[in-house]
Amino acid sequence: MRIFIVVFCCFLTFACYAQDKNYRPIIGIVAETITNHTIISKYGSSYVAASYVKFAECAGARVVLVKNNEKQDYYVKLFNSLNGLILPGGDVNNLLQSPYGKTAKIFFDLSIEGMDKTGDYFPILGICLGFQLLTQLPIKKDIMRHGSDSENLAIPLKFTPDMDNGNLFNVHTTPYSVLEALTEHNTTFNNHVHSVSQKVCIDFPQNFTKVGLEKFYRVLSVNNDRQGIEFLSTIEAYDYPIYGTQWHPEKNLFEWNTSKDYNIPHSFRATAVAQYVADFLVNEARKSTHRFSSEEEASKYLVYNYQPVYTGDISSFEQIYFLDP
């Protein structure tokens, strides 16, 4: 009888756990507005690089492209229907005041509010420019990003002692092969001209620490640019499922760049690192219970309504989705 009770209780526990999981996660990706007249502007005025879409899809999620300059109701509806958000990299001026920044802020605030009030789980991953935006959203002001000689730079991470308290990377949960690839090989691709510093310097006094961000974010890794200047490379929030990588995991898998001689790593180790981050994000999204009212409603928003354009010969992205062709 005791054995039966133990087995039955274990079965109930597993059943409850299975019900709590969302095995049909949908992740939103915030679009960026093309503000300058560039060669890709002839295709549309806002876009999402296809590599970010594939990055989420390769780990078992579907994707919704999130438009800018929409009414509040649109974003609230999507927040309650999506299971996570990616803030992609790119080139945006006046980051907080840009359409990209304003859209991200709505989701960021709703995620914080939901977690604080009801424990509502909504993960956010910021990559490159998205990483920098995540350092501005908690304090609602543009902290000074300093110049960084970090374009086309593939390097290993330098983990901080606090990494072992993290969720994204942790010696107890992250496979050793991934940690080895991250710390011993050039598996993280950087392509940024601005960075966020943790150190006080006369050239960038409004750094990460001075504005109090160390109370909101745990720093998991730092790196140095070609001039030896240190920048933050991986962060995560202490109390919320919010993560940031200054480096590009999606490029290791999906960007080949025929228009420029980029040194994007495509080794087995590099792709394993990228796949690990994608799997982590989507598994976080599976913890969210948000839903569209039906599959029919979801189908109206999914990325399948758009067709990617090949742009590998004219831009740094192999393919791009244009939201307003």
**Does the residue 257 lie in any domain?**
yes
**Catalytic pick from 128, 172, 192, 194?**
128
Mind listing the pLDDT tens digit for each residue in 25-77?
A: 999 999 999 877 678 888 989 999 999 999 999 999 999 999 999 999 999 99
**Does the residue 8 lie in any domain?**
no
> Is 60 exceeded by the pLDDT of residue 248?
yes
Task: Determine whether 10 is an active site residue.
Answer: no
Mind listing the pLDDT tens digit for each residue in 297-309?
A: 999 999 999 999 9
Closest CA to 145 of 94, 182, 109: 94
**Catalytic pick from 146, 201, 248, 266?**
248
**Does the residue 4 lie in any domain?**
no
| Mean pLDDT, rounded, for 246-269 | 90
d(CA 3, CA 11): 12
d(CA 241, CA 167): 9
Domain total in the chain: 1
For 295, what's the count of Cα atoms within 13 Å in the CB-facing half-sphere? 2
**Does the residue 12 lie in any domain?**
no
**Does the residue 206 lie in any domain?**
yes
pTM confidence score: 0.91
**Does the residue 114 lie in any domain?**
yes
Dihedral sign of CA atoms 199, 201, 203, 208 in order: positive
d(CA 56, CA 84): 10
Q: How many Cβ atoms are within 10 Å of 70's Cβ, its own excluded?
A: 14
Task: Determine whether 128 is an active site residue.
Answer: yes
Q: Which domain CATH number covers 54?
A: 3.40.50.880
Packed helices 176-184 and 268-285: angle between N→C axes, nearest 10 degrees? 120
Mind listing the pLDDT tens digit for each residue in 275-304?
A: 999 999 999 999 999 999 999 999 999 999
Q: Specify the length of the chain in residues.
A: 325
Find residue 252's DSSP bridge partners.
none
Q: List the domain range (segments joined by +) for residue 140.
A: 25-322
**Does the residue 10 lie in any domain?**
no
**Does the residue 18 lie in any domain?**
no
> Is 60 exceeded by the pLDDT of residue 100?
yes
Q: Rounded to the nearest 5°, which phi and psi values hold at 80? A: -75, -10
